[in-house]
Structure 1
Amino acid sequence: MTALTVFRTVVDLGSFAAASRHLGLSPAAVSKNVSELEAHLSARLISRTTRRMSLTEAGAQYFECVTRILDDLHEADSALQAIQNTPTGLLRVSAPMTMTLVGLSDAIPEFLNRYPDMSLDLRLEDRRVNLVEEGVDIALRGSDNLEDSGLIARKLMRMDHVLCAASSYFEMHGLPTRPEDLVQHNCIQFSLSDHATEWTFHKAGRIRKVPVRGRYKVSSSLAVRDALRAGFGLSLIPRMYVAEDLASGRLCTALTDWSPNETSLYAVYPSRQYVLSKVRVFLDFLVEKLRSPTST
């Protein structure tokens, strides 16, 4: 690339000395680049004497091709620079269905209105996608302990969990007063959770890990919430999913003096280097809308 640029500049300015000054190279370096290009092509491109220089026939033909190639490359560089610096184009995002519907989807029109040159393909799915294989730019993932996948992870918020059930369930089966009591209860399990079969509680430095069983295991937190509302059992569920139910008294909490394991929501994306502007602005938007005061 350097040799092509040097050759073009020599021809455009009409002398090796002028090209040397323009490119900030020594006269010897300019001459060496042209000579190496001629050796590579096995053709004389420029006839030069101590007084003047001129293009050969081969040189004139090659100059036209080189000029076209360099101009195309410059145009491609400019286009890519615009993509890097301006939020534009299609952004593909994978996100958990319940979290998105409860805490994010109503803000999406605001984001798209803020960046009119962008479009969004938001895929609501509770499976863990392969970002590279499936062409996903960003995925949102909730986890107690995010695996080391080689992806870049940005913590967005802490998702506080609460143990709860309908008052009718507690009236029929009793209120658990310690974590060990849960083995006697019908525990509704969110099957995609990192703690689907074992719930962990903390209190004053003590840790209790309780294996849980129940008649209903489901891969949707909304379905867990529906079963709680129906009085079918109790469950450990993110507080934000049942906040209105708790406020209205439709659901009631238990073991409030014990703290469940913390689950955090992360945005993961393939690389920290060369992050496209469309990815960067959506990450900033997620932080603006979702980050809790205690997130780091």
Structure 2
Amino acid sequence: MKLPDLEAWAIFASVVEHRSFSAAAAAIGLSKGTVSKAVTRLEAQLGQSLFHRTSRRLALTEAGQDLADHAQRIVAAARAAEDAASDAATAPTGRIRLAAPMSFGVTSVAPLLAAFLADHPGIEIDLSLSDARVDIVAEGFDIALRIADLPDSTLRARRLCSIAAHLVAAPAYLAAHGTPSHAGELGDHRLLGYSNIVGPWRFRGRDGTEVSVKPRGPLTANSGEALVPALVAGLGIARLPGFIVGAQLASGAVVEILADWNPAPVGLHLLTPPSPLRPARVEALIAFLAANLKDPCAS
């Protein structure tokens, strides 16, 4: 199937409007020769002449008169499409697909969205919560929040804040198994593992000493919240962020250990596809999340 020569149709419409090849060329910023060639190309494709040309006068043929309205409608439809696209790019309206970690999304992201949506009634948000690492481009997300050290990537990344991790255990566990005094002793303890973070737990002491421990224990899960019941029951030691274990720390159900060896904070990053062009609705949500997720993380 041969595609229509839309450029030639648009140039023909401009010649019809200005009744002159020279005037049309000046109006659309092309040379007179380019305009003439486009009209000749269209005539060859249609198999009929569109203009009567003389040295002094340019007039539409009967076929040209019949097709002039079609040409104008083609140009009008194209301009309408461009206007619609421009409105979508500049006005904060439309749908946004947002991905976030499960627990952090429930505790820290979802409560913010009501205020954002109230201020932007033309925007719809499709929030997807999962601790699995999503492929933003392949799965069609506009924004993803990720708590991790990021590998090199073509994605656009913005660090919003740091998320502190806490090494915690229930008093009953420590009473039964003892309280470690050095990060190197963790290898002898039952550790509750978060399977979405691959590799050992890494610690740095105040004297600069670095220790790596591979977590082994009775429970590994791809959700940090799923570890909390076993943690509170005294089945092991866990490394969890405050938005998951903060309430248990506040109530005394668990206590923090190895304060001198607590793992380094992990960054909360906002990721978007690599294109520098983003609709206004996406820019609005990025600005909102950046402004509202700093203090909760810092606290």
TM-score using structure 2 length: 0.88
| Corresponding position of 1:56 | 61
Cα distance 1:213–1:12, how it changes in 2: closer, same or farther (>3 A)? same
Cα distance 1:29–1:220, how it changes in 2: closer, same or farther (>3 A)? closer
In structure 2, which of residues 124, 128, 131 is the aligned counterpart of residue 126 of structure 1? 131
1:163 maps to 2:135: no
In structure 1, which of residues 262, 277, 289 is the aligned counterpart of residue 280 of structure 2? 277
| Corresponding position of 1:115 | 120
Letter in 2 for 1:54: A
In structure 1, which of residues 202, 205, 229 is the aligned counterpart of residue 204 of structure 2? 202
C-alpha deviation, 1:147, in angstroms: 3.0
**SS across alignment from 2:259:** coil
Kept after mapping to 1: 8 A contact 2:218/2:235: no
C-alpha deviation, 1:287, in angstroms: 0.9
Distance 2:135 2:248 in 1: 35
Distance 1:240 1:136 in 2: 24
Kept after mapping to 2: 8 A contact 1:156/1:292: no
In structure 2, which of residues 171, 174, 177 is the aligned counterpart of residue 173 of structure 1? 177
Counterparts of 1:2-41 in structure 2 under 5 Å? 2-41=7-46
Aligned-CA RMSD value: 2.4
Counterparts of 1:41-190 in structure 2 under 5 Å? 41-144=46-149, 146-190=150-194
Distance 1:183 1:122 in 2: 38
1:250 maps to 2:253: yes
Distance 1:132 1:104 in 2: 21
Distance 2:102 2:218 in 1: 23
| Corresponding position of 1:224 | 227
Distance 1:225 1:179 in 2: 21
Distance 1:27 1:135 in 2: 44
**SS across alignment from 1:80:** helix
**SS across alignment from 1:132:** coil
Kept after mapping to 1: 8 A contact 2:13/2:75: no
C-alpha deviation, 1:149, in angstroms: 4.5
- TM-superposition CA deviations, 1:51-109 (whole Å, max 9, x none): 32211122123322221111111111111111111122222222111111222211110
Kept after mapping to 1: 8 A contact 2:202/2:212: yes
Unaligned 5+ runs, structure 1 = none
**SS across alignment from 1:51:** coil
| Corresponding position of 2:3 | none
- TM-superposition CA deviations, 1:3-29 (whole Å, max 9, x none): 433321221122334334433445444
C-alpha deviation, 1:253, in angstroms: 0.9
- TM-superposition CA deviations, 1:97-138 (whole Å, max 9, x none): 111122221111011112101111111112222333333222
Distance 2:33 2:220 in 1: 76
**SS across alignment from 2:274:** coil
Distance 2:189 2:138 in 1: 42
| Corresponding position of 1:235 | 238
**SS across alignment from 2:166:** strand
**SS across alignment from 2:59:** strand
C-alpha deviation, 1:221, in angstroms: 1.0
- Give the count of matched residue pairs: 292
1:266 maps to 2:263: no
**SS across alignment from 2:180:** coil
C-alpha deviation, 1:278, in angstroms: 2.2
Identity of aligned residues (%): 36
- TM-superposition CA deviations, 1:36-64 (whole Å, max 9, x none): 43345443211122332211122123322
Distance 2:92 2:132 in 1: 28
Kept after mapping to 2: 8 A contact 1:89/1:278: yes
Distance 2:48 2:276 in 1: 41
Distance 1:284 1:34 in 2: 48
C-alpha deviation, 1:290, in angstroms: 1.5
Distance 2:54 2:26 in 1: 19
